[in-house]
């Protein structure tokens, strides 16, 4: 009996099946084409320099500052970072350094870091009203949720201070009185190594080339930390009528599910209202050189206020790196984003290490002095890098290649499927 029922279905003509499937297949192809990032005619974001430069110690500086958020117990790690950036950059360029803390500074911290930074540092305490739960948030519910996030094993999500930090860097740091007079900032973190000499002024070059945001490393966000973030930003994008640019397309992995079924995918995490998915790729914001006037724009402030009211900085663990990255993709021309691929950078267990430029190390330079560095290599762009340039990075290149699509003609074969 069962065989008689199902037998006719198995004899459906192939032409009929193809006729039914063809419109859906065509719609998916068209949808994927809309999210294709066209290859530019030429490289739109090249390194500012590809070898050592003689540091111009007399040139005009930009209105810029180095910024580190640290705690008193991170004295050793903070001192390591400042020692590194002093040796590799700031001993020539003498930019001021601002240390931020949510508690009163230990005099010992101030003493040590003042000495390491040659007196260029100031030490500020973040106002309590800035480092706390915003109005409208049920504090007890938020604290309970933070506890539960920690129990689920989401990195740092069980730490109340970490949530405050993410919210602070997402929407309040540029409003601090200590930063209001500055245009540019370079974010530093405790426990960082700069492994190459930085012999030019990145602030000057960012301004000269009309860049807005600079980064070193791009990688995946921890998906379970922010399941509702992308949907919230995508909803705000649509509400404000902001057109889609190529960097936003690069952030998104277009759905292969055909319309109208694709809409059901919007119920899943990291999806917009149409069912398309954020790839989770973002810029690692523990290093960023940025124009703070971007964060001060009405558009960015409105976006942050919208996100703040959603409560995701506490009821999820929305990170400032993801917020900055998606906001940059949404609001900034891709040509104004710069990859500092010539910088040697390590934080935590991840690093970027360019190979040294052949014939470009200026061994006779008095300002650069003597020293030892890794061997020069063909196509190298680094300056006196001390790390092993044979391994330029120790993390997967998927996100870096994906987010560079709008500005590079280089397309590894797998990026056609990104």
Which residue did the predictor score with more confidence, 29 or 13? 29
pLDDT in tens, 353-395: 999 999 999 999 999 999 999 999 999 999 999 999 999 888 8
pLDDT in tens, 314-363: 999 999 999 999 999 999 999 999 999 999 999 999 999 999 999 999 99
Q: 338: number of CA atoms within 13 Å, CB side? A: 25
What is the crossing angle of helices 298-310 and 320-331, to 10°? 140
Residues 6+ apart with CB under 8 A from 38: 246
Catalytic-residue membership of 221: no
Residue 9 has pLDDT above 80, yes or no: no
Expressed in angstroms, the distance from the first to the final Cα of the chain is 48
The mean per-residue pLDDT over the stretch 145-164 comes to: 97
Predicted confidence at residue 233, as pLDDT, reads: 98
Which one is catalytic: 62, 86, 288, 386?
Answer: 288
Burial 114-123 (b: 16+ CB within 10 A, else e): bebbeebbeb
pLDDT in tens, 28-69: 788 888 999 999 999 999 999 999 999 999 999 999 999 999
């Amino acid at each position: 009996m069962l065989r008689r029922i199902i037998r006719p279905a198995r004899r459906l003509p192939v032409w009929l099946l193809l006729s039914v499937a063809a419109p859906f297949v065509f719609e998916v192809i068209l949808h994927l084409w809309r999210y294709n990032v066209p290859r530019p005619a030429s490289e739109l974001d090249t390194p500012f320099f590809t070898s050592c430069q003689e540091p111009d110690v007399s040139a005009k500086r930009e209105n810029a500052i180095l910024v580190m958020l640290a705690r008193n117990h991170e004295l050793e790690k903070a001192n390591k970072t400042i020692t590194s950036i002093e040796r590799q950059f700031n001993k020539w360029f003498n930019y001021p350094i601002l240390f931020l803390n949510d508690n009163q500074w230990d005099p010992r911290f101030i003493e040590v870091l003042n000495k390491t930074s040659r007196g260029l540092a100031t030490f500020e305490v973040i106002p309590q009203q800035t480092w706390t739960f915003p109005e409208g948030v049920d504090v007890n519910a938020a604290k309970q949720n933070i506890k539960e996030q920690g129990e689920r094993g989401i990195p740092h999500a069980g730490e109340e201070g970490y949530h405050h930090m993410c919210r602070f860097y997402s929407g309040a740091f540029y409003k601090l009185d200590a930063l209001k007079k500055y245009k540019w900032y370079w974010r530093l973190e405790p426990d960082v190594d700069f492994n190459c000499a930085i012999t030019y002024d990145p602030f000057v070059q960012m301004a000269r080339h009309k860049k807005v945001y600079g980064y070193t490393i791009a990688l995946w966000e921890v998906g379970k930390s922010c399941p509702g973030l992308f949907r919230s930003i995508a909803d705000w994008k649509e509400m404000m009528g902001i057109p889609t640019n190529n960097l936003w397309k690069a952030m998104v992995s277009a759905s292969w599910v055909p319309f109208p079924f694709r809409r059901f995918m919007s119920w899943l995490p990291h999806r917009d209202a149409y069912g398309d998915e954020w790839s989770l790729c973002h810029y690692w914001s523990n290093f960023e050189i940025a124009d703070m006037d971007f964060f001060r724009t009405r558009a960015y402030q409105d976006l942050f206020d919208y996100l703040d009211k959603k409560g995701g900085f506490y009821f999820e663990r929305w990170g400032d790196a993801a917020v900055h990255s998606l906001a940059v993709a949404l609001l900034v021309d891709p040509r104004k984003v710069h990859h500092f691929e010539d910088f040697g950078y390590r934080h935590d267990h991840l690093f970027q290490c360019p190979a040294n430029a052949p014939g470009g190390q200026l061994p006779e330079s008095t300002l650069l002095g003597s020293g030892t560095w890794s061997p020069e290599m063909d196509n190298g762009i680094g300056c006196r890098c001390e790390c092993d340039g044979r391994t330029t990075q120790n993390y997967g290149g998927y996100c870096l290649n994906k987010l560079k699509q709008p500005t590079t003609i280089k397309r590894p074969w797998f990026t056609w499927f990104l």
